[in-house]
Structure 1
């Protein structure tokens, strides 16, 4: 029987373990080189035998710790003792990360290198978490996750990290920190970070991971939602909350890392209604979430109604799933497959719950809420609720640029606009025609938008190189197209505003900030 242990963070032992992992070079690139790129990619698909074949004859520290902590495999005690010269087997037992059994050291946790890229450059941390389904299966467990399972860095964690705006703040909050990866990332741009979770085991892992990373500006508190930070405010709140919509009934497992214990999308509603009270002036909250379409009430419209009209709100819906597709996704996530006897009863429970509440569709996406600064309290607020399905990159930067563009438009279109460096123009011609039938502006990054424009707007954007003012460009186009300036401007002005908030055009101040 696999032992389900809770980590016991200790600063000295964590420093020793970090030194041992560093000495073994237990990092992404050395591991990938050790067992090969193809085998490394196979691990992401739940296949580990190619990795094991590649390092089968190796007992060095990298191979031993790779099998023990990356793959979750027991290793001979002598090999582990040699690989952990500073920590020792006693040390990892004391930390609650492994235990001895029949001459072997059995992992109770995974420790995997996690690379990151932010405004300060590239880095990598070791992130500890509970054994995943693959490791549990190979340790003769049933592969079904325990209710208090602490997830490592998964797809949702990476998604949230990619959408968080790169801003400097005095105080930040990571609500529902899990293994602590978001708190670590935010700590690089915050004076202090408060990391909260309802799970005692999650907080133990998060604190241990901060110790492994040598990060000291994170405070850990236990509690639900905003209870641990009552009457406190922050410049940035980030959250990958337990937003999964799970039926409340006997026989349906609930996992602390994904289930908030409320009905439907009530947890996301509670977050967006409560978070603004904990934002400092000018502060922002960013989270991932699910929202339900119920009857004729679309999910995005329901979400919009939860956010106070006096707040800036930008919601991007990335995908929607049917009740069947959603149920199957999260039942499999818990380690239950259609081959298991429990699958069909769980599926029925999910579908019964959705049917009883009239749910027709479940949306997933990103939520950004900003409290206006005191200086901008009378400015128009941003209210944007949209569906974006194309691949996105650097969404955090796109959000930041979009808010900056919105702020710059508060007093009208700025005097000077610059075309963003990732914008290209495509022209489509009918055979035999000189004039294009379609002109498109395309973004190479951010939300990768494509906008159809007419020759006047295309000409305007093409002239936004900083040499001419907006007024000078408009006047030249009015002469070129032989139309009154006022008429041309009435047509261009709202579309220019859209290009600014979409990031196609920026101000000189934005360009300077992005290049800093």
Structure 2
């Protein structure tokens, strides 16, 4: 069922009621308890439901209605949401009344964020999930905020820009995040239902400057360019056969990983000089060709030369991948249709010779001038520190640009400092005086752990913003009694890597 186009005055009334009730993450966690909060994150609402069962306060009523997807009485809803009222909820398409019972048609949940400008929370509406529906999702389901949404929101670069584009906006969470740094945002989707959720969420959160347009990929912005493009596209690889649900929020209608390839091929024409594009994606390892190498081929084939930084975060075999997305749609093992869906996925992968499916982050940039200078394709599987990566990615790009302008003599003349989140760990065999392993550990960013030798460890330890790199290398060569020129040739490329990764910074 299509959502009504949201009425601004009713959205303001709803926002006022939710604010008055204290409908925020920490208040909810306190209301139903940390154990129930953890269970809810795993898709189990019963503990939270039990915790709120006897509470008739406004926060508990709203939490039951829009946090858990449970029905409440009309009297409870009227008292908890006096400004918008039950009729207002119905007019917004958020709930429906039958006699004395009010049933939710959507979920509205607070979503916290932190960026360079501070911390806050949005209230984000989306369709009822499988826990609230008690079964599989409809194909036109508009997802609220999932883990992938949170990941991309945290990845978004944080520097101010003029125009931004959100391709495949869904409920609008990426558009809201992009608007924090952009003067205006165009949000597109093939689903008019999704676009109405985007407009609703923008109005409820008092965010202006977001324009919605309907259409596939870059068709709604033909001939236009943007300084920043973000996309959590419907990248899930889905068999193109009858009987397999084509969920709009995750299935872009292409064969295999064709959506990712198509996005990379088309995005350059819509990037202003110096503009960036960020997206989440899947890619297949096919017939002996690794997924990252296939992505490299797509970037190299772009009509617009692009800088590229691709991070593969996860690799799944075809069975695990299929199981993940069949469960995501609300069908679990042992229920009707599960085996048929699993078989369809495995047949699809087998037909294309797919051995593994990668998931990761894609960052592309149209150079402001000249040819691309960044082509980085890497696997980073370790758990990451809490907090978004957007600021870290921005610093890395800035460091890359500065390093690209420096030859070895310029780098040797530079003064560096160790980042505040870097620590050193030394591992000794029992009774040994010298360490067998020296590690540099990064507390933020990608939480990298690098094994280094004594010379590089000594150089990093001496980077305190006092002496340039060149004299430090000379002193270390003298201390270790090695050739200075050879040590310089060995260390400078590794220093470049440490600066790019954020272990070292320019003083």
TM-score, structure 2 as length reference: 0.95
Per the alignment, residue 65 of structure 2 pairs with: 68
SS at match of 2:16: helix
SS at match of 2:170: coil
Map Cα deviations across residues 147-184 of structure 1 (whole Å, 9 max, x no partner).
11000101100111122221211111111111101110
Task: Evaluate the alpha carbon distance shift between residue 270 and residue 260 of structure 1 in structure 2; reply closer, same or farther with a 3 A threshold.
Answer: same
SS at match of 2:300: coil
Per the alignment, residue 477 of structure 1 pairs with: 476
Residues 7, 205 of structure 1: 8 Å contact kept: no
Match of 1:193 among 181, 185, 190: 185
Deviation at 1:475, TM superposition (A): 2.1
The farther-off stretch of 58-67 and 209-218 is 58-67
Q: Does 1:29 align with 2:22?
A: no
**1:235-250 to 2 correspondences below 5 Å:** 235-250=227-242
SS at match of 2:284: strand
Match of 2:3 among 1, 6, 20: 6
SS at match of 1:281: strand
Query: Which runs of 5 or more residues in structure 1 are unaligned?
Result: 138-142, 509-516
The farther-off stretch of 204-213 and 468-477 is 468-477
Deviation at 1:26, TM superposition (A): 1.2
Per the alignment, residue 315 of structure 2 pairs with: 320
Per the alignment, residue 426 of structure 2 pairs with: 427
Per the alignment, residue 505 of structure 2 pairs with: 506
Per the alignment, residue 271 of structure 1 pairs with: 263
SS at match of 1:409: helix
**1:110-509 to 2 correspondences below 5 Å:** 110-137=107-134, 143-308=135-300, 310-374=305-369, 377-378=370-371, 381-393=373-385, 394-410=388-404, 411-412=406-407, 413=411, 415-508=414-507
Counterparts of 1:51 and 1:481, CA distance in 2: 62
Counterparts of 2:46 and 2:487, CA distance in 1: 66
Counterparts of 2:96 and 2:421, CA distance in 1: 52
The farther-off stretch of 295-304 and 437-446 is 437-446
Residues 133, 145 of structure 1: 8 Å contact kept: yes
Query: Which runs of 5 or more residues in structure 2 are unaligned?
Result: none
Residues 233, 279 of structure 1: 8 Å contact kept: yes
Counterparts of 1:56 and 1:49, CA distance in 2: 10
Deviation at 1:455, TM superposition (A): 1.4
Match of 1:59 among 46, 49, 56: 56
Deviation at 1:45, TM superposition (A): 2.5
Map Cα deviations across residues 82-109 of structure 1 (whole Å, 9 max, x no partner).
2221111111111111111132111111
Counterparts of 1:478 and 1:52, CA distance in 2: 66
Residues 5, 97 of structure 1: 8 Å contact kept: no
Map Cα deviations across residues 297-343 of structure 1 (whole Å, 9 max, x no partner).
11110010000373211111011111111111111111111122211
Deviation at 1:446, TM superposition (A): 1.1
Counterparts of 2:396 and 2:127, CA distance in 1: 38
Map Cα deviations across residues 338-385 of structure 1 (whole Å, 9 max, x no partner).
1222111111111111111111111001111111112xx25x611111
Counterparts of 2:46 and 2:342, CA distance in 1: 32
Deviation at 1:482, TM superposition (A): 2.8
Counterparts of 1:7 and 1:472, CA distance in 2: 68
Deviation at 1:5, TM superposition (A): 4.8
Per the alignment, residue 83 of structure 2 pairs with: 86
Counterparts of 2:160 and 2:331, CA distance in 1: 42
TM-score, structure 1 as length reference: 0.94
Residues 5, 108 of structure 1: 8 Å contact kept: no
Residues 402, 501 of structure 1: 8 Å contact kept: yes
The farther-off stretch of 64-73 and 408-417 is 408-417
Equivalences, count: 497
Deviation at 1:483, TM superposition (A): 3.0
Counterparts of 2:445 and 2:364, CA distance in 1: 18
Counterparts of 1:53 and 1:302, CA distance in 2: 49
Map Cα deviations across residues 214-258 of structure 1 (whole Å, 9 max, x no partner).
000111111100111111111111110000000001111100000
Residues 52, 64 of structure 2: 8 Å contact kept: no
Residues 99, 108 of structure 1: 8 Å contact kept: yes
Map Cα deviations across residues 62-119 of structure 1 (whole Å, 9 max, x no partner).
1111111111111111111122211111111111111111321111111111111111
Per the alignment, residue 514 of structure 1 pairs with: none
The farther-off stretch of 38-47 and 94-103 is 38-47
Residues 8, 94 of structure 1: 8 Å contact kept: no
Deviation at 1:146, TM superposition (A): 0.8
Residues 175, 241 of structure 1: 8 Å contact kept: yes
